[in-house]
Structure 1
Amino acid sequence: MVSHRRTSQHGQSTLAGVTVVSAALATAAAGLSAPAASADPAGRAAAGREAATARVDSLYAQAERATEKYDGAQARTKELRGQVAALQDRTARAQERVNRMRGRLGALAAAQYRSGGMDPTVQLMLTERPDTFLEKASALDRLGVSQAGELRRLRAAQRTLEQQRRETAAKLAQLEASRKAVARHKRDVQRRLATARRLLNALPKDARKAFERATRSDGRREAVPDLHGVVPASGRAAAAVAAVRAAVGSPYAWGRSGPSAFDCSGLTQWAYGRAGVSLPRTSQAQRGAGRQVPLSQAQPGDLVIYRSDASHVGMYVGNGQVVHAPYPGARVRYDPVGMMPISAVTRP
């Protein structure tokens, strides 16, 4: 797990941020089980606090990954909802067309009935499934040219209607599965955050305050890094940088994409949206939303994707700094670009 914690108010990088939770817990356990004669009570307490804070760091990282999955499922649900609505509209229009065509055939049947009886071929046209009769040449031979054409059009309309119904049913099934995924990922986020909060609350008051100072400083009270002379990659990048910098100090809230609270990918999506550019909802998708460039060539407005699973994203703003939404309890803030392992730099 890669820690977001910092060692100074000015955000100097602590690149040794990879914490192996199991090792930390094993170290703490070993310290607690050592013989009383050689044990250092203060050392054991410190080891226990270190193990607990490492576990909290890990849970926050896991919650962020779950949040990205939740965001992706939410975006997919929204997309499917639009597709279902369009299909339902097309199905309704296809049904109306079939109804109109059957109405015209019904009028023909009524006219024939009034004139002394209904032609059996017209009865065939009014059946629910006229296809079987079209397959018989003898039936077509008994139909007039206009009647045969009407029947063929009705058959085509009915086939279209059936296809629309099948497509709508399939999309509805996908929508239901996506809704369930949203609910599942939401529970996962809530469970991990609740566990992290319980661990924090169990720490001694001084240790808890120290952890919260280190991990969740208020962006509004920080010194703004010197960004004089930085040149964004483009006009739209400049607009996105201005938006993301204006968001510094806003609270993190998982599943949110502004304008008053953000998660990591919600922040970058919102900032570029202010610049008139549509970005995907998740950090994984944002990694592929442009041209990838080396970190050495990063320019303000580039997206910096973190961790091998691309579960975190920030925006490069120049002079070695990014703006990002860290995780629950934090505020949008500046941090060194190398705060955790980088998997890609993308220029939208």
Structure 2
Amino acid sequence: MLRKLPKYLSKCYSSYPMGGGVVRSKTITELKTKYHAQEPITMITAHDFITASWAQSAGCDMILVGDSLATNALGYESTTQIGLEEFQYHVQSVCRAQGAAFIMADMPFGTFESSIEKGVETAIALMKSSPKVGGVKLEVGSTSGALREQDYSLKLAAALCSRGIPVMGHVGLTPQRAHALSGFKVQGSKSAKDAAAIYQTAHELQDLGCFGILLECVPHKVSKHITESLSVPTIGIGAGNGVSGQVLVQSDLLGMNLGKIPKLAQKYGDLHEQSVGFIQQYLEDVASQRFPDNDRNGFKIKDDVWGDFLDLVGNSSK
């Protein structure tokens, strides 16, 4: 006679993780449910365990481990300077934070341009950085005519999607191509042809299988029109409020660094100024011997243990 399995075992599958207490990450299906319900999707960048923990605790729908961490967290002059191994280190750190956000990783500059095979290998490596990585973001140029048919990034997007790797296409201002675009400028604002190229690229990425499109520095009327014409979510940064969701760089939002933030961002606090102030207060407390306080910050020893200690080492106090 066969014994009936306990209920908690009968619903387990060989490929399903059994770890207790692990919060399940949101899925692409759940993100699309918000999209179809016309509920704005929230996304923010994170570059390590702490910033990811803040984003998770706040309840963000999505976390992007963007290559912007190169300039905003690591002190590089350009996002193009960070390599794959260093980038993966930060992806893994972000993924250690508990929470339900869908985590997506950038494809860093120099890790996919040499060949389709190299690009596929990079995407696989990023997906294998952690089980919590749900997809990759790929910057795609917006070209037209004969150049469009030769566009390598579109071919790579097709190769990734055909292999079941979730991809969000990134169009408009693509920072990795800033030199080719003559700097960090709004795209599609001065030429109808350029705006149409962004529109066409977004549609082609959707047709290739991308689960979403990120629009950066695109006029809000163009972004809204693109969003309304697509059947996948759009995430905007500097693209107005007619898109499906928004993303901001966390260091801009929190005011973590010195200097002005980009026009497309919103500064909700001044963490840099606050942090410097707190550290200065600590320095003053140490200099004035207000910190540490033996009663509040110190640890006591029992009188008999103290007496035995003095007997062992000799009472050298005067």
Same fold (TM over 0.5): no
Q: TM-score range with shorter-chain normalisation?
A: under 0.3
Provide TM-score, normalisation by structure 1.
0.25
Give the number of the structure whose residues are more often helix, by fraction.
1
Q: Which has the higher contact order (CA 8 A, sep 6+)?
A: 1
Provide TM-score, normalisation by structure 2.
0.27
Answer with 1 or 2: which has the greater Rg.
1
